Amino acid sequence: MRILVLGGDGYLGWPTALHLSDCGHEVAVADNFARRSYDHEMGVQSLAPIESLQTRVAAWREVSGKDIQAYYGDLVDGEFTVDMIRDFRPDTIVHFAEQRAAPYSMIDRKHAVYTQQNNVVGNLNVLFAIEEVDPEIHLVKLGTMGEYGTPNIDIEEGWIDVEHKGRTDRMLFPKKPGSFYHLSKVHDSHNIEFACRIWGLRATDLNQGVVYGQETPQTVRDPRLATRFDYDAIFGTVLNRFVIQAVLGHPLTVYGSGSQTRGVIDIRDTVECIRLAAENPAEAGEFRVFNQMTESFSVEEIAKVVANGYEGSVDVEYLTNPRVEQAEHYYNVVHTGLVELGLDPHLLSNTLIHSLFRVAEQHKHRVDTAAMRPTVQWREASSPMRGLN
Ligand code: NAD
């Protein structure tokens, strides 16, 4: 299969491209390096050093003998997007290429507008390009579990049968997102469902949980193939951040009571889910949704897993929650679709935690501890940016 990975220079896009290439697919990646520029803007960096995309691609050719074609450009540029898709002629497009940090989208007006413009317009350009070049192309789009929020009913895989005043219909599952970033994903989902319904496109929306881990069987084949490992309060996902705090001997910073519960997934399962979705495409006209998570944990439980897995002593510090989210809530998510396609999940085990401790230990001299304190306040429309006016 020919697979184009949009956002292929990012935390998940790069290991996914390697996994798909390793499985024998013809892979190309595209990126505008926006993620690397957020690092400069925020004054932070990935804990594990990462190479340029050019070096990564050359290293993969060296270790595997396989080529990954690379496109440099911005999906917000509709001409670039359509030309690239016409040039590569993929069977499947995997779309990771969005601004993905909720706190970044909540800094102020400028960052909220950027996030929604980048994500919603980029995704629309991809939909129009597929329709123009070849409506048979299967779009595999990364959404997030955060689109649903925490409703007091079971969360289904994208659709729900509703009975209202004696009549029934199958509707998109209601969404209650928690940031301008999560809202951009809801807007994307609606635009994709609409394109499937009116143009007959085929799409899979993957509502993914919080990803943890940094290594996959392909990235460990050469240090130049490493993917990002973010720990700062803007881009660091919770488990990765706790691991680094444990290694540094800092308290794990739990927001609020820590009873807020989220779906999570191991990075090795993320890349495998993408392969399964790509190799088993949605039908023409189908908007298929999977909840791409394997387990649920409260933030406090995640802190305990990290504390118990670490050899040294670990403290937990409870901070006033900078976000607006329900502390006590019901959380029961249906996530059987990908397992039915063949996913055999890696559940959160000490094995993975230990490999993360090792990576954190190796690079701990690169940590900027101040970057781990949350500065973005959901209750304020404008938060100061660290060290900048
Ligand atoms: P990332 O920021 O590391 O990667 C995204 C990549 O897309 C970056 O390399 C960035 O430069 C690129 N990009 C952004 N806007 C672009 C544009 N307009 N044109 C071209 N390239 C652009 O993020 P990630 O953690 O790898 O996440 C990938 C996707 O998965 C995102 O859509 C995110 O919302 C989703 N997701 C991630 C997580 C997680 O825990 N990391 C959880 C749920 C969903």
Q: State yes or no: is 38 an active-site residue.
A: no
Lining residues, ligand 1, CB within 6 Å? 7, 9-13, 31-35, 74-76, 96-100, 118, 122, 142, 144, 208, 210-211, 228, 237
Give the residue among 238, 235, 204 at the shortest CA–CA distance from 348.
238
Considering only residues 372 and 120, tell me which one the structure prediction assigns the higher pLDDT: 120
Q: Tokens 């890696």 correspond to what residue?
A: 346
Mean pLDDT (the chain, rounded): 96
Specify the pLDDT at position 389.
59
- Answer yes or no: are the C-beta atoms of 95 and 89 closer than 8 Å: no
Dihedral, 282, 287, 292, 298 alpha carbons, nearest 10 = -170
Could you give all domains of the chain from N- to C-terminal order, each with its CATH number?
2-371 (3.40.50.720)
Cα(340) to centroid(ligand 1), Å: 26
Mutate to test the pocket of ligand 1, among 47, 96, 228, 234 (most ligand atoms within 8 A of CB): 96
Secondary structure of residue 35 in the 3-state scheme:
helix
Tell me which DSSP letter residue 220 carries. Answer: G
Tell whether the model's pLDDT for residue 350 goes beyond 80: no
Give the residue among 133, 123, 3 at the shortest CA–CA distance from 75.
123
Cα(170) to centroid(ligand 1), Å: 30
Q: Which atom of ligand 1 is nearest to the CA of 100?
A: 34
ipTM greater than cut 0.95: yes
Model pLDDT for residues 13-57, shown as the tens digit of each residue: 999 999 999 999 999 999 999 999 999 999 999 999 999 999 999
Cα(101) to centroid(ligand 1), Å: 9
Arithmetic mean of pLDDT, 353-359: 92
Tell whether the model's pLDDT for residue 388 goes beyond 70: no
